[in-house]
Amino acid sequence: MSQQIKATVNADGTIRGLKKKHVQMIAIGGTIGTGLFLGAGNSIAKTGPSILIVYAILGAFFFMMMRGIGEMLYADPSQHTFVSFISKYVGAGAGYFAGWSYWIGLLFVAMAELTAVSTYVKFWFPSWKTWVIQIAFLFVLTMINLIAVKVFGETEYWFAMIKIIAIVAMIVTGLVLIFTGFKAPASGGHTVASFSNVFSNFSLFPNGASMFIAAFPMVFFAFQGMEFVGITTAETENPREVLPKAINTIIIRILIFYLGAMIIIMSIINWHVIAKTPESSPFVMVFQLAGFKAAATIINFVVLTSAASALNSAIYSAGRHFYQLAEESDSKFMTSFKEISSNGVPAKAIILTAILVLLSPIINAIPQITSAFGLITSISSNMYIIVYAMTMYAHRKFRESSNFMPDGFLMPGYKWTSPLTLLFFVSIYVSLFFQSDSRIAAVGAILFTIVFGYLSHRKFSNKNTVTVY
């Protein structure tokens, strides 16, 4: 084999086909979710301009989490998932629980995004059958994942580019309106565009402290998926060069794409006006005020690509996670899922993921279980908080191991930021109980953790010794 082949093929057969540009765009795509385009109005309605503080706090802690994950992946870039560090540094039972919980969560994320895709497509083609749209999208994105990791990387690159263009276009449009002293019509509250609109008569709790607290889990789930860039490490060229740059620029992207976009929106449209129709997209409102009649169509295309990107990433991530679960399993059933195809991807794990995601059209076709599906999706989302917390605990154990690299990619201010980040995840979970619509799912996630956590511990109770290499 040539040196190039050796350099781009891992020991398990996976290929390091993702280039620097792919990873950087995947990192951006993971930062910007559909929630920004459609959920910004709801977030602003809850807390007004103080939503900027919520985004800043959450952005800072997500950055710290990513630095912790990045520190472990920098030390061992061969790992396909960050969850594998839980098995390695906390214990086999904990890793088993976290691995399966995260994979189940990814399946429901994929199902939810597939449902969203069909909704956005029907904006243009209302007569099309939902199940036909879903199967078609799922087939195409599954094939993209099966062909080669480079094809997946190129697809995500352009999906992310569309989101970036939309946000930058909105910010530029907003700046033009601000510097020309644009006055909004009645639909925009007769607001004269100015940055002062954001900070004049500022109140931290305009709708009460409980609404301010309730905004935290909403924004948290908008950031959810940011960790996805870490999952690409094992299939990235020069991971120790690319990973730190991708993670370090996260904070800049949050400042520009979230805080920047929110400031522009509230400078042009009075936040009280936005609060009257929280389900409407503020992006659409800004473009419409600027005279773009096709604003709704443009943003629908953007959120369609955003949902397709999230679905594509979920298939990729779920496939790698199931492959990792198979690698750590001694079950005969899981043996075939340890195989890597000639294209350098865990094909069987990806195909299984796609088959299970196909349950989404079936679930959507049965009216009686639609609410149950929503509840399960919420429970799986809440499980992410628990898995994130476990990952940060694994990072603390990593620091005590011989694998720790004092000259590696270190989490800044570890003595303070590590316990504060763990406390942050606990606080976010507690905040779920402040709203009735999230309380049931929060209780469900706790019950799942107790039952499945006990079974996982019991499964490995006689051999649950932590191996630190």
User: Which structure tokens are listed for 2?
Assistant: 């040539």
Does some domain include residue 466?
no
pLDDT score of 351: 94
Least confident stretch, 87-101, 105-119, 172-186, 385-399: 105-119
Lowest mean pLDDT, pick from 53-67, 73-87, 443-457: 73-87
Residue 304 resides in a domain: yes
Can you tell me the distance from the alpha carbon of 416 to that of 308, in angstroms, rounded to the nearest whole number? 38
Decide if 352 contacts 367 (C-beta within 8 A). no
Output b/e per residue, 15-40; b: 16+ Cβ within 10 A.
bbbbbeebbbbbbbbbbbbbbbbbbb
Alpha-helix residue ranges (DSSP H) falling in 328-435: 332-335, 347-357, 359-364, 370-399, 414-431
Cα 369 from Cα 32, distance rounded (Å):
30
**Tens of pLDDT, residues 185-213:** 887 778 899 999 998 888 889 988 888 98
* pLDDT (tens digit per residue) in 414-441: 999 999 999 999 999 998 888 787 889 8
What share of the chain has pLDDT > 90, as a percent?
42
pLDDT tops 70 at residue 238: yes
What is the residue-averaged pLDDT of the chain? 86
- Does residue 375 lie in a domain region? yes
Residue 95 covered by a domain: yes
**Is the pLDDT confidence value at 317 over 60?**
yes
Is residue 275 one of the residues assigned to a domain?
A: yes
**Which long-range contacts does 359-368 make (Cβ < 8 Å, 24+ apart)?**
359/111, 360/110, 360/111, 360/112, 360/114, 360/115, 360/134, 361/114, 361/130, 361/131, 361/134, 361/135, 363/111, 364/115, 364/118, 364/130, 364/131, 364/134, 365/130, 365/131
Size of the chain, expressed as the number of residues it contains: 469
Confidence of residue 35 (pLDDT cuts 50, 70, 90): confident
CA distance 16 to 7: 8
pLDDT at 108: 86
Q: Are 128 and 109 in contact (CB under 8 A)?
A: no
When mean pLDDT is compared over 215-224, 309-318, 420-429, the highest value belongs to 420-429
Is residue 464 in some structural domain?
A: no
Q: For residue 87, what are the contacts with CB-CB under 8 A and spacing of at least 6?
A: 94, 95, 96, 98, 99, 328
Q: Is the pLDDT of residue 22 over 90?
A: no
Instruction: Output the pLDDT for position 369.
Output: 63
**What is the pLDDT, as a whole number, of residue 196?**
92
Domain that holds residue 435: 3-459
Structural domains counted in the chain: 1
CATH number of 283's domain: 1.20.1740.10
> Within 10 A of 364 (CB to CB), how many other CB atoms are there?
19
Q: Could you tell me if residue 408 is inside a domain?
A: yes
Asked if pLDDT for residue 80 goes beyond 80, the answer is no
Determine the Cα angle at 290 with ends 286 and 296, to 5°.
55
Q: For 241-285, how does the pLDDT look when each residue is reduced to its tens digit (9 = 90+)?
A: 888 888 888 788 878 888 999 999 999 998 989 998 888 889 998
List, in sequence order, every residue forming a beta bridge with 9; answer none if it has no partner. Answer: 15
Query: Across residues 312-339, what is the average pLDDT?
Result: 87
The predicted structure's pLDDT at residue 200: 83
Is pLDDT of 451 > 90?
A: yes
Residue that the structure tokens 């011989």 belong to = 402
What is the residue-wise DSSP string for 107-154?
Answer: HHHHHHHHHHHHHHHTTT-TTS-HHHHHHHHHHHHHHHHHH-HHHHHH
Contacts of 225 (CB under 8 A, 6+ apart): 30, 33, 109, 310, 313
Q: Which amino acid is at 143?
A: M
Please report which residue ranges of 12-75 form alpha helices under DSSP H. Answer: 20-31, 34-47, 51-75
Q: For residue 281, which of 57, 112, 45, 117 has the smallest C-alpha distance? A: 45
pTM of the model: 0.87
Judged by DSSP in three states, 411 sits in: coil
| 469 domain residue, yes or no | no
Q: DSSP per residue over 228-258, as a string?
A: HHHHTGGGBSSHHHHHHHHHHTHHHHIIIII
Give the pLDDT band of residue 13 (cuts 50, 70, 90).
low
